[in-house]
Amino acid sequence: MRSKFRHVALIGKYQAIASGAQGASSRQALEEVAHFLHAQGCEVAFESQTASNMGITGYAALKVEAIGEQCDLALVVGGDGTMLGIGRQLARYGVPLIGINQGRLGFITDIPFDGFQTTLQPMLAGAYEEDHRSLMQAKVLRDGHCVFDALAMNDVVVNRGATSGMVELRVEVDGHFVANQRADGLIIASPTGSTAYALSAGGPLLHPSIPGWVLVPIAPHTLSNRPIVLADATEIAIEIVAGRDASANFDMQSLATLLHGDRIVVSRSQYRARFLHPKGWSYFDTLRQKLHWNEGVA
């Protein structure tokens, strides 16, 4: 079987170090995948930061923008954090992504590295399931002006300062006042992010096909403040009413220091990430495996 994808980009762990055992192992894994792709008739390129970090030569090195413009597939060898990072950047180009897991949980990098050839070969030939994930567009408004703008695939989190007490947050949905919440913070999570920080804070799991997100308070002062699921067509605004050194995190990657009166406005992005999974893939299989459901059941 020959690949239906002509030009494939490889992306590795952004934080991997080229020297030492971990770096050598990651470099070897990437080169093994590259050799396999070449044998399938693919033109292979490396994301430029991956090539630089790993000391990989002999392949074209492309910046993310060039990958979006030139490649028909991006293949991530790493963990969910690597997939989130590249997924946010490539969503605007519509390039599909496949994840080979070298991380820990692997909710969205779902192909084990061991034996990846057996799983990947039919996918390259066109036998795959396609899964679209919505992104969040988040802005920080200060005195009516946008001072920070970011995309998030997992979540937008407003947190109290490291050494301060609770923050007080005014929450609005589509301009309608919901509540003033006193808590350690507040999470707005997509279905993709419902298995991340929001789950740890007591939020529900959202199936990826649900066009919604979940609003989850972090250690609320009033125990009746519970998570709520909202349609992702809504616009959520969070205003900093009280509390020192509050910050906003977007997929835990970007951070903005917030002042009283700042508003974090979250809406559905026009872009969606495209994930490809092996034929027969099921979200419930992933949950069962990663969350260790049914363990101990005869």
Domain boundary residue among 126, 154, 187? 126
Tokens describing residue 77: 């060898």
Residue 216 lies in a domain: yes
Q: State whether the Cα torsion 168-233-271-269 is positive or negative.
A: negative
Nearest Cα to Cα of residue 11 among 56, 61, 55, 46:
46
Nearest Cα to Cα of residue 286 among 144, 24, 110, 165:
110
Q: Give the pLDDT confidence of 90-113 residue by residue, as tens digits.
A: 999 999 999 999 867 678 888 999
Domain boundary residue among 126, 160, 194? 126
262 and 183 assigned to the same domain: yes
Q: Give the mean model confidence (pLDDT) for residues 127-149.
A: 95
Domain that holds residue 266: 136-270
114-123, 169-178, 262-271, 285-294: segment of lowest average pLDDT:
285-294
Q: Say whether 30 sits in a helix, a strand or coil.
A: helix
User: What's the half-sphere exposure (Cβ side, CA atoms, 13 Å) at 296?
Assistant: 2
Residue 52 lies in a domain: yes
The pLDDT score that the predictor gives to residue 18 is: 45
85 and 185 assigned to the same domain: no
Interacting residues of 14 by C-beta distance below 8 A, sequence separation 6+: 49, 50, 53, 78, 81, 82, 85
122 and 12 assigned to the same domain: yes
The pLDDT score that the predictor gives to residue 19 is: 43
Q: Is 245 a catalytic residue?
A: no
Q: Give the pLDDT confidence of 228-271 residue by residue, as tens digits.
A: 999 999 999 999 999 888 999 999 777 778 999 999 999 999 99
Cα 261 to chain centroid distance, Å, stands at: 29
| Catalytic residue (choose from 80, 155, 184, 262) | 80
Looking up tokens 């991006």 gives 74
Residue 288 lies in a domain: no
Q: State whether the Cα torsion 117-123-128-130 is positive or negative.
A: positive
Q: What is the mean pLDDT of the chain?
A: 91
CATH number at residue 21: 3.40.50.10330
12-16, 26-30, 127-131, 134-138: segment of lowest average pLDDT:
12-16
Cα–Cα distance measured from residue 68 to residue 228, given in angstroms and rounded to the nearest whole number: 35
Q: Give the pLDDT confidence of 22-43 residue by residue, as tens digits.
A: 555 888 999 999 999 999 999 9
Q: Give the mean model confidence (pLDDT) for residues 134-156.
A: 95
The pLDDT score that the predictor gives to residue 21 is: 41
Q: Give the pLDDT confidence of 161-196 residue by residue, as tens digits.
A: 877 789 999 999 999 999 999 999 999 999 999 999
159 and 191 assigned to the same domain: yes
Domain count, the chain: 2
